[in-house]
């Protein structure tokens, strides 16, 4: 589950909603937990299929963390992609629907919901102590995506999401590579390209490096964003000032050389060194052309089944691939490689290993008549014991980064083996530039990047993108 972002929810089928009215009736496949408590308050919760698949454990952990017994959680699937969920949420909330009560909301599009006044201002209902805990103990970059321009908190981070490179440690060792030394000391993309190519060529395996380049939010928010950021590039100039604001006044920097270099690198991965737009001194031909249609699950499955050397994916994939029934300890994890170092990067906060910051928050429907119960639910998720239970059950990172340093976290099966890598990735993450224009800009970016990776010259594709983004920015 990711920033996770047009991310396919991996475990259950799409549950269709039938419209803005009759929301609860229109969502089939609901799963009410602890039915013996149904004389109390039932909260309708729109969430991911990962939550639903692990609901017994997660809801029991909520009760253990202090959620009152009279509250029952009735969970419903948000659908197969976050684009689907975003459209549903906007429709229901704009129509003033009283249910669902609580939403799992993508950190990447929380701010537009805040701007449109569609979700409850939690600063008006949370105590000062609760708000101070969020601001002081939660991951700062995650919290920044849940705060409005007024400085108030509108959503509660449930878990941050950051990608890593997951790789076949056994195949690397067989080929003479000790990639474990890069657990918190990232490789350059050039080193990575040569190592993965060598490992790939030494083994009878179908794929070298799997990632996601389908023309979707996953590409614009995350993969392309981290590629170009690791080369010192940016969509809108200085991320320190332009991630969430300055529409119309910020520069459009998608046609700059760092962005073009990142596209040439990715083309080299796909098309090999004979491609006219390949990058000198890089090895290539390690990614199949099918990455141009892949989202996260199609890219993950071959790796988990042992048919790829390396995979760029989110923590949920580590939990799956690292299970003893799958790759187990044959799987290694390391941070995203880098294109240039931070001291040589063109823009602040760029260069070095960059993980695209995804993640999910809990937001409350301001029209709900059950807001008190919803706040009890949210408060229970803030307890350390719940966050560690969630980490173990689903592989979702605790929103309090310091929990990853605990002995308890290190003892969690599978995920505990990789807490150092995950903490490093969280510390070296960068959010997408979300404003009210982002849904439109994201679509333009993903289409242009996909074209630049397929058949269009990167310089030409980015020049067109710059012009179209400029027109959008000036239209506001």
β-pair type (71-77, 41-47): parallel
Return the exposure string of 185-222: e unless at least 16 CB atoms fall within 10 Å of the residue's CB, then b: ebbebbebbbbbbbbbeeeebebbbbbbbbbbbbbbbb
State how far the alpha carbon of 353 is from the alpha carbons of 31, 138, 234, 386, in Å: 40, 22, 14, 30
- CA dist., res. 369 & res. 372, Å (int): 8
pLDDT at 436: 87
* CA-based nearest residue to 445, from 254, 212, 278: 254
pTM, to two decimals: 0.88
Which long-range contacts (C-beta less than 8 Å, at least 24 apart) are formed by 298-301? 299/210, 299/211, 299/212, 300/10, 300/210
Return the exposure string of 326-345: e unless at least 16 CB atoms fall within 10 Å of the residue's CB, then b: bbeebbbbbbbbbbbebeeb
Q: What angle do CA 458, 463, 469 make, to 5 degrees?
A: 120
- CA dist., res. 178 & res. 185, Å (int): 12
Retrieve residue 38's tokens: 């149904």
Q: Give the residue range(s) of CATH 3.40.190.10 domains in the chain.
A: 23-161+357-399, 164-355
Spatial CB neighbours of 301, under 8 Å, sequence gap ≥ 6 = none
Strands in 173-291 per DSSP E: 207-210
pLDDT at 285: 97
Q: Classify burial at 97, counting beta carbons within 10 Å of its beta carbon; exposed 0-12, middle 13-18, buried 19 or more.
A: middle
* pLDDT per residue as tens, the chain (476 positions): 444 333 333 332 222 232 333 333 333 333 444 444 446 999 999 999 999 999 999 999 999 999 999 999 999 998 867 778 888 999 999 999 999 999 999 998 899 999 999 999 999 999 999 999 999 999 999 999 999 999 999 999 999 999 999 999 999 999 999 999 999 999 999 999 999 999 999 999 999 999 999 999 999 999 999 999 999 999 999 999 999 999 999 999 999 999 999 999 999 999 999 999 999 999 999 999 999 999 999 999 999 999 999 999 999 999 999 999 999 999 999 999 999 999 999 999 999 999 999 999 999 999 999 999 999 999 999 999 999 999 999 889 999 999 999 999 999 999 999 999 999 999 999 999 988 899 899 999 999 999 999 999 999 999 999 999 999 999 98
Q: Classify burial at 18, counting beta carbons within 10 Å of its beta carbon; exposed 0-12, middle 13-18, buried 19 or more.
A: exposed
- CA dist., res. 420 & res. 404, Å (int): 8
CATH number of 164-355: 3.40.190.10
pLDDT at 128: 96
Q: Which architecture characterizes domain 23-161+357-399 according to CATH? A: 3-Layer(aba) Sandwich (3.40)
State how far the alpha carbon of 51 is from the alpha carbons of 103, 316, 416, 458, in Å: 12, 12, 20, 39
pLDDT at 84: 81
User: CA dihedral in degrees (156, 158, 163, 169; nearest 10)?
Assistant: 160
The count of C-alpha atoms lying within 13 angstroms of the C-alpha of 452, restricted to the half-sphere facing its C-beta, is 28
């Amino acid at each position: 589950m990711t920033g996770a972002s047009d991310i396919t929810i991996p475990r259950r089928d799409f549950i269709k909603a039938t419209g803005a009215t009759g929301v609860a009736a229109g969502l089939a496949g609901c799963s009410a937990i602890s039915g013996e408590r149904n004389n109390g308050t039932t909260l309708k919760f729109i969430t991911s299929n990962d939550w639903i698949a692990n609901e017994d454990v997660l809801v029991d952990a909520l009760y253990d963390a202090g959620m009152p017994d009279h509250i029952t959680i009735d969970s419903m699937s948000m659908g197969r992609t976050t684009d689907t969920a975003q459209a549903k949420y906007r429709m229901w909330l704009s129509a003033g629907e009283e249910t669902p009560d609580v939403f799992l909301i993508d950190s990447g599009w929380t701010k537009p919901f805040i701007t449109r006044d569609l979700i409850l201002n939690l600063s008006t209902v949370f105590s000062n102590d609760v708000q101070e805990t969020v601001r002081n103990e939660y991951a700062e970059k995650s919290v920044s995506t849940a705060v409005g321009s007024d400085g108030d908190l509108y959503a509660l981070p449930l878990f941050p999401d950051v990608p890593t490179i997951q790789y076949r440690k056994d195949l690397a060792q067989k080929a003479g590579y000790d990639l474990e030394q890069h657990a918190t000391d990232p490789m350059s993309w050039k080193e990575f390209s040569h190592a993965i190519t060598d490992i790939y060529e030494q083994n009878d395996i179908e794929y070298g490096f799997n990632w996601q380049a389908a023309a979707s939010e996953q590409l614009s928010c995350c993969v392309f964003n981290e590629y170009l950021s690791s080369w010192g590039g940016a969509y809108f100039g200085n991320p320190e000032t332009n991630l969430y604001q300055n529409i119309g006044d910020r520069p459009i920097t998608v046609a700059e050389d760092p962005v073009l270099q990142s596209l040439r690198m990715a083309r080299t991965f796909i098309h090999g060194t004979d491609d006219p737009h390949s990058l000198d001194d890089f090895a290539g031909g390690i990614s199949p052309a099918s990455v141009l249609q892949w989202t996260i699950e199609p890219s993950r499955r071959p790796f988990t089944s042992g048919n790829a050397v390396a995979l760029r994916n989110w923590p949920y994939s580590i939990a799956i691939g690292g299970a003893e029934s799958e790759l187990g300890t044959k799987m290694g994890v390391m941070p995203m490689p880098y294109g240039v170092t931070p001291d040589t990067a063109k823009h602040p906060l760029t260069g070095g290993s960059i993980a695209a910051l995804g993640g999910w928050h809990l937001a409350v429907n301001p029209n709900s008549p059950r807001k008190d119960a919803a706040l009890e639910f949210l408060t229970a998720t803030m307890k350390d014991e719940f966050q560690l239970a969630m980490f173990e059950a689903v592989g979702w990172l605790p929103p309090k980064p310091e929990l990853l340093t605990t002995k308890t976290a290190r003892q969690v099966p599978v995920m505990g083996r990789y807490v150092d890598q995950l903490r490093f990735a969280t510390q070296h993450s960068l959010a997408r530039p979300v404003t009210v224009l982002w849904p439109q800009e994201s679509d333009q970016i993903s289409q242009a990047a996909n074209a630049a990776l397929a058949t269009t010259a990167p310089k030409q594709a980015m020049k067109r993108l710059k012009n179209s983004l400029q027109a959008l920015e000036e239209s506001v």
